[in-house]
Amino acid sequence: MSDKKSKGGLGKTIWKALALKGDFYENARNTPKTQRRSLTIVILAAVSHALGSAVILLINRATLPILVLALLIDGLSVAGGYYFWTLTISKLGQWLKPNHVSYKDLLIPIGYAYSPQSLNFLTVIPLLGRPIELVLSVWSLLAVIVAVRQGLDITTRKAWLICLVGWPLIQVAIGFVQVFEQYLVKLAA
């Protein structure tokens, strides 16, 4: 990003990413500052997801060791999903446009696209947790589509196709982690 565009805090960066502005994702450049911000957003998303899970696990009376293990797995699943999804997008992008954008170059805009996931702690709201989780997931998908469209300089349709390869796999994996956490709680009871 240029110096003018890179000014502002993490909150401003998240807000721009949430707004799905194509020029924001297109101008995300590989600098130490943008790398840190992007990684911070992914970590924030992982912590937010873990906090939401922690409340649910505490309501279900998880023991401390189970709680710590479940939260570690939960946070790592979000971070792992980020790297896996970026890898699938990178490989498909290389197939469409060889030597256009590297895996490392995609980590920043896709990290920014994880901004909606920083609101995942809201999933603890009774009766609205699952719908909120789905909305945030789709919002992240849309943000990744914008980031990929801008980063690879391809049509929106191609960006949709590329992003939809890894997205369902990540949703299934995160669902599996949630079921596994509940199993751990029952096992310890």
pLDDT of residue 7: 53
The answer to whether 71 and 53 are in contact (CB under 8 A) is yes
Query: What is d(CA 29, CA 105) in angstroms, rounded to the nearest whole number?
Result: 8
Q: How much is the pTM? A: 0.85
pLDDT for res 60: 81
Separation CA 48–CA 101 (nearest Å): 30
Question: What is the full per-residue pLDDT of the chain (189 aa) written as tens digits?
Answer: 344 444 568 888 899 999 998 888 888 876 778 889 999 999 999 999 888 888 888 888 888 888 888 889 888 989 999 999 999 999 988 888 777 788 888 999 999 999 999 999 898 888 888 899 899 999 999 999 999 998 888 899 999 999 998 899 888 888 888 888 878 878 776
- pLDDT value at residue 8: 66
Whole-number Cα distances in Å, 65 to 117, 168, 175: 26, 30, 21
- Report residue 137 as tokens: 């997931």
